[in-house]
Amino acid sequence: MTDINKKIPFPIRLLLVEDQLADIIATMLERLNGYEIDTADNGEHAVIKAIEGDYDVVIMDLLLPEMSGFEAIRRIRDTNDKIPIIALSAVPTFEDRAIECGANLFIWKPPDFSRLNLLIHEYSYQYRNEVPLKEGSVKELKQRRLLLLKEKVALQGMNADPSLIIEVQDLEKELTGD
């Protein structure tokens, strides 16, 4: 990943698409990082703003009025296949569908703001510098997968799928060399 302490020589512009928690999320991101944030409260507005605007990252809730986040992601991808889109939902079963629609990443709601900050920083740097979003070492990709799996296991708690737990353990062993 890009060194988070490296100065980005431009303000990071976000499109935050959220119908319920937009004010809270935007306030947290602005306070912590000073991002320039534009908001949309439904999928139709999101598509229009994403196509007409100049954003570094789109953060997209998936359950939206008027047009779902899934459909909005598809439509944005029809015109811009490079802009980073981070899908956001409290529904864990939406992860695969969000990725299939064209999101680069799925994170749980409410988000971990320190992690979200790292992702925004990384994706905006890659997008502005035309670094392919899928570029990265195998180890980095495995580390990202491990974080996602750990989140999923934590959310499922005592009812966690045993295959997820095994995958987490296997990835941890592989990454630590044990």
Give the tens place of pLDDT for each residue, 74-113. Answer: 999 999 988 999 999 988 889 888 988 899 999 988 888 7
pLDDT of residue 83: 93
pTM for the model stands at 0.69
Dist CA 100 CA 2 (whole Å): 26
- Give start and end residues of each alpha helix (H) in the chain: 22-33, 43-52, 69-79, 95-101, 113-128, 138-156, 162-176
Q: Which of residues 141 and 28 earns the better pLDDT score?
A: 28
Q: Which of residues 11 and 67 earns the better pLDDT score?
A: 67
Domain ranges of the chain: 13-128, 138-176
pLDDT tens digit sequence for 137-178: 446 656 766 777 787 788 888 888 787 788 788 778 877 876
57-61, strands of its sheet edge to edge: 36-40, 13-17, 57-61, 85-89, 105-108
The two three-digit tokens of residue 55, written as one number:
């954003």
DSSP code for 8: P
- The CATH code of the domain at 13-128 is 3.40.50.2300
In this structure, what are the phi and psi dihedrals at residue 171, rounded to the nearest 5 degrees?
-65, -40
Report the Cα 23 to chain-centroid distance in Å: 18
- Taking residues 19-26, what's their average pLDDT? 69
